[in-house]
Amino acid sequence: MIDTHAHLHLPDFDGDRDRVIARAFALGLDALIEINISAGGWPAVKRLAEADARIHATLGIHPHEAGPEALRALAGLEGELASERVVAVGETGLDAARGRAPREEQVALCAAHIGLAREARLPLVLHCREAFPELLRLLDLEGRGAVRGVFHCFSGGAGEAREIAARGFHMGFGGGVTYAPERWRPVLAAVPAGRLLLETDAPFLRPAPDRRGRNEPAFLFRTAAAIARLLGLSEEETEARADANAADLFGPSVIRRSPPAPADSPDGGAASP
């Protein structure tokens, strides 16, 4: 199984990062994509990806950080896209829900990311909150039909899912689907089989029932099981579908399979997937 979106470089993991990573892979996780969200965070993201062949990196600056300084920082990081450890551009996008950066500055920063992805022929990792029509227009304008990507932690409805899939983009689903499962049944039904991805967004969005704590990649199995139930599929079929989609989007090198070994549960005690 592939966790297509995690932030293990954040301070939330400073006390036990190595154990968190070891636990996830021991439980059966095959690969993880570490998502960069700031210029200052890139060195830590890069170190994680270079230390373990099963960890891959993206390069981008979150829309909450949008502004002239972020644009300059992104331009300064452009050369890092040549690294074989970088499999996507982002996290980028638009966020109208929190208003942490002016809309026009978010648009400028996102457009710059789209241009980088187009030129580097890499997929985009997209953050979208209450901005689907505007982000889709921006992708149409700046992507020129030459970029793909994933709307991570998808928050839209069935209509948005169909629009996104029609443009060839994927959708990532994480712990949020366990909070109100029936809200997600029609949404997941609208997602084509070839467009579904699994993610944790760790340390955020820990799946139910204990959703208030820190999330981590080991919990991806819990989310995958919930999605399988909503789709009426087996967990094995859901995992195989999502893994094939991740390899299609990010490249076959993201799958580094190894047999699971005994591990401690993130909740304490022994655990199994």
Residue-level pLDDT, tens digit, the chain, 273 residues: 999 999 999 999 999 999 999 999 999 999 999 999 999 999 999 999 999 999 999 999 999 999 999 999 999 999 999 999 999 999 999 999 987 899 999 999 999 999 999 999 999 999 999 999 999 999 999 999 999 999 999 999 999 999 999 999 999 999 999 999 999 999 999 999 999 999 999 999 999 999 989 999 999 999 999 999 999 999 999 999 999 999 999 999 898 654 444 456 565 433 322
The residue length of the chain stands at 273
List % helix, strand, coil for the chain (3-state, nearest 5).
50, 15, 35
Query: Quick check: is 42 in a domain?
Result: no
Query: Quick check: is 38 in a domain?
Result: no
170 known ligand binder:
no
Query: Quick check: is 82 in a domain?
Result: yes
Q: Which among 150, 123, 114 is positioned nearest to 3, based on CA atoms? A: 150
Query: Quick check: is 4 in a domain?
Result: no
Predicted model pTM? 0.93
Secondary structure of 45-113 in HEC code, one letter for each residue: HHHHHHHCCCEEEEECCCHHHCCHHHHHHHHHHHHHHHCCCEEEEEEEEEECCCCCCCHHHHHHHHHHH
What does the DSSP assignment read for 164-190? HHHTT-EEEE-GGGGTSHHHHHHHHHH
Query: Quick check: is 186 in a domain?
Result: no
- Sheet with 170-173, side-by-side order of all strands: 2-6, 31-34, 55-59, 86-95, 124-129, 149-151, 170-173, 196-198
Query: Quick check: is 119 in a domain?
Result: yes
- In terms of residue numbers, what domain contains 106? 63-151
69 known ligand binder:
no
152 known ligand binder:
yes
Three-state DSSP at 270 gives strand
| Residue the block writes with tokens 């084509």 | 192
9 known ligand binder:
no
91 known ligand binder:
yes
Give residue 239's pLDDT.
Answer: 97
Query: Quick check: is 85 in a domain?
Result: yes
113 known ligand binder:
no
- Reply yes or no: is the peptide bond before residue 192 cis, omega within 30 of 0: no
Query: Quick check: is 36 in a domain?
Result: no
Three-state DSSP at 197 gives strand
Tell me how many domains the chain contains. Answer: 1
Q: Which among 265, 267, 256, 245 is positioned nearest to 198, based on CA atoms? A: 245
